[in-house]
Structure 1
Amino acid sequence: MPAQSKIDMLEKVSASLEASAGLFVIDYRGLTVKETQELRRGLREAGAHMKVYKNNLVRIALEKAEMPAIDDCLEGTVACVFYDSDPAAAAKVIKETSKKLNKIEFRGGITDGQVVSAEEVIAIADLPSKEQLLGQIAGLINGFARDIAVCVNGVSSGLARSIQQVSEQKAA
């Protein structure tokens, strides 16, 4: 029979998995307490949170939640970063902190129910944020509307110029 503390911890891991859209696994060895606090603060602002659980408990919780296994990621000193909705925002915070401190390493994770490698997580971090994508789409739509207005206006003004030239030729 497992100890009650491990059962309670397993429930916490399961609750974190249920409440999140996905997770990234990072190697955080070498971070000071201050650097860890800075990383956690940045993650909170991005709608994510970082937790350090026993790797075996995370494996069991993933199995209970019928999520894919990420056993190769869960080796050694790792932390799980659970994100609420935007994986790119959480991955950007980790990547920026990693560049700044040169101590954090992506191991992999789960996004949209699929296992992702460390390289794929880095690619996710390079994606524009949701707000930037919406702004780009709005700009494209606005550009198309402007182009259509210019074309429609050009046809009517061209027709008006043609009629004026014809009337001037007939008057002459």
Structure 2
Amino acid sequence: MISKNRQLKEAKVQEIKEKLEKAEAVVLASYQGLNVEEDTELRKKLREAGVEYKVYKNTLVTLAAKELGIDGIVQYLEGPISIAIAYDDATAPARILNDFAKNHKKLELKAGIVQGAVYDQAKVQELATIPPKEVLIAKLLGSLKAPMSNLVYLLNAIAEKNGSAEVTE
């Protein structure tokens, strides 16, 4: 008969596996030394961006990662580690944690997983520089709109010039 404690751990490993499978991006950070106010502020920012923020036992995360074949992340699971999980915007957890770490030196990015690929600290910080999905879409739409706007302006100028030429003739 399996002990109650083991059942709870197996359930927690299954929960972690499901979250890692569904996630667009996962960022690991060392949070040791943050006070309650700082932690609350960080959690609020992450929640507003739709990012789930959890602290799990490293051994349980290690088991889940190994079962999913994400062994590369295991080396970063040392000491107190928090996990930020994004299901929609792959850059959100890296961007928010990186911005927060600039003013709170006790928070340190460790590593990340983006669509199954393991990123080290440098790559996670690089990922943090990518603007949010909405900004990228707006820029794309703006760049698509610009040539059409220029064409309409040009055609309008030609029409006005031709219209004024007819009046003078």
**Fold match (TM-score > 0.5):** yes
Residue identity over aligned pairs, in percent, reads 28
Q: Which residue of 2 aligns with 1:42?
A: 45
- CA deviation digits over 1:45-87, x for unaligned, max 9? 1111111112222121112223353122112221111111112
For the aligned residue pairs, the C-alpha RMSD in angstroms reads 2.2
Q: Which residue of 2 aligns with 1:140?
A: 143
* Corresponding residue pairs, total: 166
Is the CA contact 1:68–1:114 (under 8 Å) kept in the aligned structure 2? no
Q: Which residue of 1 aligns with 2:55?
A: 52
Q: TM-score, normalised by structure 2?
A: 0.85
d(CA) in 1 for partners of 2:163 and 2:35?
74
Q: Which residue of 1 aligns with 2:26?
A: 23
d(CA) in 1 for partners of 2:26 and 2:156?
52
Q: Which residue of 1 aligns with 2:87?
A: 84
d(CA) in 2 for partners of 1:31 and 1:5?
28
The alpha-carbon deviation at position 164 of structure 1 amounts to 6.2
| Stretches of structure 1 lacking an aligned partner (at least 5 in a row) | 168-172
Which secondary structure state, in structure 2, belongs to the residue aligned with residue 126 of structure 1? coil
Residue of 95, 115, 119 corresponding to 1:116: 119
Is the CA contact 2:101–2:107 (under 8 Å) kept in the aligned structure 1? yes
Is the CA contact 2:24–2:86 (under 8 Å) kept in the aligned structure 1? yes
Identify which range, 89-98 or 62-71, moves more after superposition: 62-71
The alpha-carbon deviation at position 150 of structure 1 amounts to 1.8
| Stretches of structure 2 lacking an aligned partner (at least 5 in a row) | none
Q: TM-score, normalised by structure 1?
A: 0.83
